[in-house]
Amino acid sequence: MDDVFSAVAMGFEILGALAMVVGTLVAIVLGLRAAQRRVPGEQVFGVVRRTLGGAILLGLEVLVAADLVRTITSKPSMEDALILGIIVLIRTVLSISIQIEIEGTLPWRRALLSSGAGVVAAEVRRDRAAEATPTDK
């Protein structure tokens, strides 16, 4: 049974890394598409920054899940619990910092919460809407 849970945890780790890699590629593509539409550079940078930040947030959330699965299924010890706590604390601080950078406000001051996937999806929707809008080139 330990092998199954180790494989599940590894699957989560791969999924978390993949979310960051794919998100980076999506951010680059959206930035290039915005630049092709002659969007001002500051806005292009914002698109890339928000999309990349959302991808990193999503990846961190999945990696925390992998750490939880790995720790819960291992032989319980105080050392393992302490290591998990430190890892989760570091990743939580990173997530909060990235959210503040993306949204420009503290997470507890927002009316609606958004996840990393929601940020990436919003950028894709903005890109599609901009593509559908005819512009003078």
Domain assignment present for residue 22? The answer is yes
Domain assignment present for residue 77? The answer is yes
- Number of structural domains (the chain) is 1
Domain assignment present for residue 98? The answer is yes
Domain assignment present for residue 6? The answer is yes
Residue 10 belongs to what domain range?
A: 2-132
Given a cut of 60, whether residue 113 has pLDDT beyond it is no
Contact 116, 55 (CB under 8 A): yes
Domain assignment present for residue 74? The answer is yes
| Residue 53 token pair | 């930040």
Give the other-Cβ count within 10 Å of 8's Cβ.
Answer: 15
pLDDT tens track for 38-79 = 989 899 998 999 899 989 989 988 998 888 888 777 777 888
pLDDT at position 136 is: 52
Domain assignment present for residue 21? The answer is yes
Domain assignment present for residue 137? The answer is no
- pTM, two decimals, is 0.71
Given a cut of 70, whether residue 109 has pLDDT beyond it is no
Residues 6+ apart with CB under 8 A from 54: 23, 102, 116, 117, 118, 119, 120, 122, 123
Separation of alpha carbons 61 and 50, rounded Å:
16
Given a cut of 80, whether residue 118 has pLDDT beyond it is no
Domain assignment present for residue 101? The answer is yes
